[in-house]
Structure 1
Amino acid sequence: MTTPSENPTSSNFRRVPPSPGFGDPTGAGHLDGLVSTLKPEVQERLDLLTRVADLLGIDDLAFSSYASAIIRLSAREQDSRQGLNRLILVECELQNHLATTMHEERLIESWMVRLDQDLAAKESMSVIQNRREAMLKKAKEYRTLLEAISTDTPAITFETLMAQQTANEHKMHSIKEKHAQVKAFKGLPPNLALARQQLKSARAAQMELIQLRERLLGQMAASVI
């Protein structure tokens, strides 16, 4: 492409229908002569139109060609915008579907947790029920054993308690008297026959000691004389 300050060549105007004549079969020399006679601003505008024609892909520099190309571009732009809007709508629908799916997933997880808790509670209740039945069975066995070993206890009244207390006091008095009698024997057995036998043995031992003392005294006297 040429700059606005450069003179356009004949290649920039290959889409302009050639004008035959002036000794050139294609009319290129005549066209170059016409372009060279134009003012710089006109040449710049002509160059700009040529660039636009290249961009639009048209072979004719007529206004109808430009209009048709612009209409086609506008239609393509409209189609692109419609496609973009459809994509945006599809994206929104996918996001809504994703949010719904995530919500359903959270609900399923919460239901699973609740079901697990209910199952654990049911298992614990069954364990508690089994323990309760076992304890009731043991209680029945203990009750049967107690009924088997239980005896008839007499009814206790205030009069029987007072009578028993009086009898206990009499027994305590009798025991004290017997203790006093036992102390009177001074170490002898409480049986009278045994006491007499022990006393007789003690007197015999005493006589032997007296005789032994007499013999010792006699021997001492004999040794002195």
Structure 2
Amino acid sequence: MSTPLDVDPAAFPILQSLEMPKPFIARRWLQCKPEAWFRDSPVDDRDRALLDAQDAPWVHYAKTSYLRKVYHVKQGEGFKTTNWTVENDDACKKMVAEAGGQLVGFGCDISNPAQWKSMKVNVNITAKNTSFDWGFLSTVPSKVRIFRGPVYTCQYHPWDAMILRDCYANTGGMMEVDSISSRYWDILVMKMCEDYDYPWVVVAVKDAGPYKPENHRACFCC
């Protein structure tokens, strides 16, 4: 959901009092003060392009587009799925960090990580203006960074942000649309203390270049 660049950050409390949509406020806050989320982590041109991206015309930006689940396999075990719900949020962050993701501003202990054979993070996209209703864009933990939100966004539940790079179409209907399946996509999701079962909501999707099938095995894990 695109946000106008002329919104003064000082106006955010006013926007909240006027009940402006939280995704609008959260994304604009992140655009204006990325250092509050990124801290000492660099903000590169690709990050900035995602933060400033126009809406993808085929994405329905609402609570029905959200971070959905993690597929994972430990060494010596079978395939499992963990839904990225409010209750599983800390466990999912820890899994992703153990498998190569980056946590910024969190105190998660991964000094004794589990031995993950493979893992995939799936974002549920509700579609519009296209031939399918919904689908997954997927990526691997090494392409994921999760940023702890500054305390002034919410004293009790800071508005965290997550960037998932090089996501690709991973369900039938979406894979049949060449303009989507032939591309990688960068995704920004944010957690804004809403009372959703799935708390991470999609707020930006940006074309990240041509999809390279040779980089992926014919299985769920990459």
Task: Give the structure-1-normalised TM-score.
Answer: 0.19
RCO comparison, higher one (Cα < 8 Å, 6+): 2
Higher-Rg member (1/2): 1
Task: Give the structure-2-normalised TM-score.
Answer: 0.19
Q: Kindly indicate which of the two structures has a greater share of residues assigned to strand.
A: 2
